[in-house]
Amino acid sequence: MADTSTSYMGLEMKNPVLAASSGLTDSLNGILKCDAAGVGGVVLKSIFEEQLISEKDVYDKYSNIYPEAVDYLREGGLLEYAPQKIFQMIDKAKQKTDIPIIASINCRSPKLWPTFAEQFQDAGADGLELNIYSLPLELEKSGSEYEQQYLDILKSIKKVVSIPVAVKLNHQITSLPYLTNRLSDAGCDGLVFFNWFLEPDVRLDTLSTNNIKGKGDFHRTLRWVALLAGRIDCDISSSGGVRNGKDLIKHILAGASCVQICTIFYEKGLEQTKEILNELKTWMDEKKFQSIQEFQGELSLKNQQLSFKDMGEAQSYFRAQYLKTFKK
Ligand SMILES: Cc1cc2nc3c(=O)[nH]c(=O)nc-3n(C[C@H](O)[C@H](O)[C@H](O)COP(=O)(O)O)c2cc1C
């Protein structure tokens, strides 16, 4: 029988399915449901800075941190999810399950990242995922200045925690190879390709704007996993558009250690985990692979080059222009 266990940032997982950060993982009940469905690990719903700071903090010490955002969260009931409750939730979850629990944090003020990271480590989280994002709006600020923020945040956190730390990236970064290599040099343990966002839309009847749910892009993620796996000293977790076992296998062939799944769980339920894992096991048996490690990264750029195939089977990751491929 195929062994589906994998290792992600040093965390041992019984299989490569991680329940991605979302409403599915924002409560003890949610975590236990994911566990019962058979996932290999969970990433908790992101905790936003505004959820962790108390009113006193906001008005005394960090009065520059959007008090209106705090009010908004409080009105929406989101402050219920913080802060002691979250730490207790992690503690209870750790007593009831042994799958890795990764806490996801999102801060706006540089000073608060390491403080919160340390608190989640103390609460018993097995790892951290940094949900870093700032929309580049300023006309005078270069891409590298924005990207430096990733490094500064990671370095400040690595100074204070010993649990593994992953950075969840967005696809708008100009040179992913350069930034990911620098993150790896700064001690990053895992990279998550890519984050998902709300997208804007326009209402023609009311002449107003609204948000629609974004979608993870399977092929874009596959390209970057394959181009970077093994070339940077970090594990990679794919997040975006994985809907079945075949999709999961493709990401592992490209070099991912595990995949993060969200939308398909919302659409079809956590029972999909079993189907995805059955598909994985059946394929591994057919191909006579006994472990994930035997085929992880087989179709990454690095492995194709190492096996003296030049670009070998990895050509398609580069071809982004239509030119001949789809000529009529
Ligand atoms: C309802 C919903 C809530 C989400 N909340 C978060 C979040 O709090 N933090 C985060 O990093 N990603 C969040 N995500 C993104 C997912 O973790 C995941 O990266 C993304 O949905 C891509 O995977 P998928 O194609 O399987 O949905 C959310 C996604 C959805 C659909």
What are the backbone dihedrals phi and psi of residue 89, each rounded to the nearest 5 degrees, phi first?
-60, -45
Domain contains 262: yes
CA separation for the pair 300, 257 (Å, rounded): 12
Domain contains 105: yes
Atom of ligand 1 nearest to the CA of 194: 19
Any ligand 1 atom below 6 A from CB of 255: no
Domain contains 81: yes
| Cα of 239 from ligand 1 centre, angstroms | 8
Write the residue with the smallest CA distance to atom 2 of ligand 1.
22
Look at residues 259, 237, 5 and name the one whose alpha carbon lies nearest to residue 130: 237
What is the per-residue pLDDT across 13-57, written as a single tens digit (0 to 9) for each? Answer: 999 999 999 999 999 999 999 999 999 999 999 987 666 655 445
Res 63: pLDDT: 46
Write the residue with the smallest CA distance to atom 29 of ligand 1.
22
Inter-residue contact 70 to 77 (CB < 8 Å): no
CA separation for the pair 165, 103 (Å, rounded): 10
What is the per-residue pLDDT across 76-126, written as a single tens digit (0 to 9) for each? Answer: 555 545 567 788 999 999 999 999 999 999 877 777 889 889 989 999 999
Reported as half-sphere exposure (CB side, CA atoms, 13 A), residue 225 has a value of: 33
Least confident of 17-26, 209-218, 222-231, 239-248: 209-218
CA separation for the pair 294, 46 (Å, rounded): 33
| Cα of 48 from ligand 1 centre, angstroms | 14
Q: What's the mean pLDDT in 157-180?
A: 94
* 288 pLDDT above the threshold of 60: yes
In the predicted model, what is the mean pLDDT of the chain? 87
Write the residue with the smallest CA distance to atom 5 of ligand 1.
22
Res 55: pLDDT: 47
Look at residues 192, 153, 199 and name the one whose alpha carbon lies nearest to residue 43: 192
What is the per-residue pLDDT across 122-152, written as a single tens digit (0 to 9) for each? Answer: 999 999 999 998 788 899 999 999 899 999 9
Res 324: pLDDT: 56
What is the per-residue pLDDT across 300-311, written as a single tens digit (0 to 9) for each? Answer: 998 887 666 666
Domain contains 193: yes
pLDDT confidence band for 262 (50 / 70 / 90): very high
Look at residues 229, 40, 23 and name the one whose alpha carbon lies nearest to residue 126: 40
Look at residues 239, 266, 84, 220 and name the one whose alpha carbon lies nearest to residue 166: 239
| pTM greater than the 0.85 cutoff | yes
Domain contains 158: yes
Any ligand 1 atom below 6 A from CB of 106: no
| Cα of 189 from ligand 1 centre, angstroms | 20
What lies within 8 Å, CB to CB, of 75 at 6+ separation is none
Domain contains 67: yes
| Cα of 101 from ligand 1 centre, angstroms | 16
Q: Count the domains in the chain.
A: 1
Atom of ligand 1 nearest to the CA of 45: 8
Domain contains 328: no
pLDDT confidence band for 228 (50 / 70 / 90): very high
Residue 260 vs residues 34, 174, 282, 313: alpha-carbon distances, Å = 12, 23, 21, 25
Domain contains 326: no
Kindly report the CATH number assigned to the domain that includes residue 129: 3.20.20.70
| Cα of 156 from ligand 1 centre, angstroms | 25
Atom of ligand 1 nearest to the CA of 241: 25
Q: Which domain holds residue 231?
A: 6-317
